[in-house]
């Protein structure tokens, strides 16, 4: 595939680190004042770090890591960063390529010869680099769902899942998790070692990032930051447990602390860490754009993002080249960015999804606007806190309205059915799918059922006989779970998300 060297454009920029050095103290002071306006507002907790290659300009950590216990968020608290994982995996891939362990130009059909790919593509025409830059034209929602919510998928199961669930998509760049999931499975197939182990060996252990991991089991539940959803003044914060190890997948499966984020951003700005075995050519390979995204300003960062490297969107903003990646998951929003010509790195963490996606992005933009002395920066710094308050109120109202409308749908029949314990017990049991590598278990829980699929959990609320609605967080539109009976009237199977499960089985 075509290689796009966007990094060369930095030489043409007006600003240089030396010219900006005198502006960094002013930008830092203005940024601190901007963050003051969100103290006690963005919650339950937030963190912001701003660094140069050698100095920490800002490390602000406020609030709590768990809204129920009140345990404080600290600079060493591991926080889930979701899709930012891709940049770490991109550096691992660049290192393993340079070391000759797994070349990035390997065709994706070099492994799993029995896998059947969609008819629109020849897997011999696409490489591991194409997987990591979102250029292989196929979708597979089942793999991405299993990896992100259900279980660690054994690489040996990938050929069958690729064959059963893959679908064609349009040629070109299309951001998703799938390429990183497939790369990680190929990595384990090729080397016999999991992607988590490679992250430890290549990055975390050599750099001393001991509060960063792809396994949440490395920390106690009390140490970790939990995720949160705001339900309004009456119900407060809904706590969301940290992901299990089985849900920590290569496209979105890291926790890191603000202190370790400082180490990571300074690595990018320094461009190498020879003492850790990370060479300048590895960092350059990870931060080179290999594809034109076609997104322009149509992206969550509100920047001109024309290229994509190995886990970094490569953008232009306020005259600066910016390498950036965000992370979003139910109850959490995070972002990290660094600018090679401005000489700064910025990261923001929010352990709720209460408009924190917008807020974390403005943290990055505001510092760069202060640094460039944008004439509108002070006005934006004044109006954005009020906008945040208005938007969080609208978000809650919109979520409540959507939930009410979903529950009122005629399909559910008014949720009038109230089965007793014996009636519910008739649905409980083990169910299997012909293609999924994990069984489903249904157990009686309160006035309904609990749906268990690997590490995934959903509450099944009775709606009508043989019809339940499944949710696992507030405000969700219920997923229909529809049961079928055999000729004798016994529960024999159910459908959920177009997947058919039969009772019993191995």
Judge whether 464 lies within some domain.
Answer: yes
pTM of the model: 0.94
Q: Indicate if 300 and 355 belong to the same structural domain.
A: yes
CA–CA dist 123, 109 (Å, integer): 5
Domain count, the chain: 3
Last residue of a domain, one of 191, 217, 250: 191
pLDDT of residue 9: 34
pLDDT of residue 40: 93
Judge whether 403 lies within some domain.
Answer: no
- Measured CA to CA in angstroms, residue 339 lies from 110, 295, 316 at distances of 36, 20, 9
pLDDT of residue 505: 66
Instruction: Write out the H or E segment, with its range, that includes residue 178.
Output: helix 178-191
CA–CA dist 463, 335 (Å, integer): 40
How confident is the chain (506 residues) per 10-residue block, as mean pLDDT? 35 44 86 97 96 98 97 98 98 98 96 93 96 97 96 96 96 96 98 98 98 98 98 96 97 98 98 98 98 87 95 96 97 97 97 96 97 95 95 96 94 95 96 94 97 97 98 95 97 96 84
Q: Indicate if 31 and 107 belong to the same structural domain.
A: no
CATH of the domain at 473: 2.40.128.50
Judge whether 382 lies within some domain.
Answer: no
Last residue of a domain, one of 347, 374, 401: 374
Last residue of a domain, one of 165, 191, 217: 191
pLDDT of residue 297: 79
Domain span at residue 348 reads 6-88+208-374
CB 253 within 8 A of CB 247: yes
Q: Indicate if 299 and 220 belong to the same structural domain.
A: yes
CB 36 within 8 A of CB 341: no
Q: Indicate if 357 and 423 belong to the same structural domain.
A: no
Q: Indicate if 240 and 331 belong to the same structural domain.
A: yes
- Partnered with residue 321 across adjacent β-strands are 316
Numbers of helices and strands, H then E, in the chain: 14, 22
Q: Which CB contacts under 8 angstroms, 24+ apart, belong to 204-207? A: 206/273, 206/275, 206/276, 206/277, 206/278, 207/263, 207/264, 207/267, 207/273, 207/276, 207/278
Q: Indicate if 119 and 82 belong to the same structural domain.
A: no
For residue 233, how many other CB atoms are within 10 A of its CB? 7
Judge whether 493 lies within some domain.
Answer: yes
- Partnered with residue 193 across adjacent β-strands are none
Of 428, 410, 429, 408, the residue nearest 419 (C-alpha):
428
CATH of the domain at 179: 1.20.58
Q: Indicate if 104 and 249 belong to the same structural domain.
A: no
């Amino acid at each position: 595939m075509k290689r796009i060297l966007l990094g060369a454009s930095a030489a043409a920029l007006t600003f240089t680190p030396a010219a900006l050095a005198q502006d960094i103290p002013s930008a830092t002071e203005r940024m601190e004042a901007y963050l003051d306006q969100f103290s006690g507002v963005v919650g339950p907790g937030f963190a912001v770090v701003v660094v140069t290659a050698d100095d920490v300009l800002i490390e602000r950590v406020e609030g709590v890591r768990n809204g129920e216990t009140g345990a404080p968020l600290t600079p060493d608290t591991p926080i889930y960063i979701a899709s930012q994982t891709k940049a770490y995996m991109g550096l691992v891939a660049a290192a393993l390529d340079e070391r000759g362990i797994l070349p990035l130009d390997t065709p994706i059909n070099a492994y799993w010869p029995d896998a059947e790919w969609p008819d629109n593509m020849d897997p011999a025409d696409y490489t591991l680099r194409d997987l990591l830059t979102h250029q292989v034209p196929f979708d597979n929602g089942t793999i991405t769902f299993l990896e992100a919510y259900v279980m660690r998928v054994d690489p040996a199961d990938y050929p069958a899942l690729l064959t059963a669930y893959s679908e064609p998509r349009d040629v070109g760049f299309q951001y998703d998790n799938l390429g990183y999931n497939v790369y990680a499975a190929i990595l384990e197939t090729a080397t016999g070692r999991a992607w988590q182990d490679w992250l430890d060996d290549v990055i975390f252990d050599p750099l001393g990032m001991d509060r960063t991991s792809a396994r949440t089991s490395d920390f106690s539940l009390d140490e970790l930051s939990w995720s949160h959803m705001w339900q309004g003044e009456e119900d407060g914060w809904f706590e969301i447990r940290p992901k299990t190890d089985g849900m920590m997948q290569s496209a979105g499966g890291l926790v890191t602390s603000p202190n370790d984020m400082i180490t990571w951003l300074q690595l990018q700005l320094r461009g190498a860490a020879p003492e850790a075995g990370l060479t300048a050519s590895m960092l350059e390979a990870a931060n080179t754009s290999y594809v034109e995204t076609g997104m322009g300003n149509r992206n969550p960062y509100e920047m001109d993002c024309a290229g994509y490297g190995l886990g970094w969107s490569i953008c232009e903003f306020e005259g600066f080249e910016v390498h950036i990646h965000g992370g979003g998951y139910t109850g959490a929003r995070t972002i990290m960015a660094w600018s090679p010509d401005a000489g700064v790195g910025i990261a923001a963490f929010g352990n709720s999804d209460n408009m924190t996606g917008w807020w974390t992005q403005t943290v990055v933009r505001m510092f760069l606007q202060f640094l460039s002395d944008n004439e509108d920066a002070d006005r934006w710094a004044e109006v954005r806190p009020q906008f945040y308050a208005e938007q969080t109120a609208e978000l809650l109202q919109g979520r409540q309205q959507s939930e009410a409308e979903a529950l009122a749908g005629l399909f559910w029949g008014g949720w009038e059915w109230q089965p007793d314990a014996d009636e519910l017990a008739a649905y409980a049991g083990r169910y299997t799918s012909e293609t999924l590598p994990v069984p489903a278990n249904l157990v009686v829980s309160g006035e309904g059922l609990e749906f268990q699929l690997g590490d995934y959990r959903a509450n099944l609320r009775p709606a009508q006989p043989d019809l339940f609605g499944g949710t696992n967080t507030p405000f969700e539109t219920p997923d229909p779970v529809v049961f079928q009976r055999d000729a004798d009237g016994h529960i024999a199977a159910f459908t959920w998300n177009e997947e058919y499960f039969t009772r019993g089985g191995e």
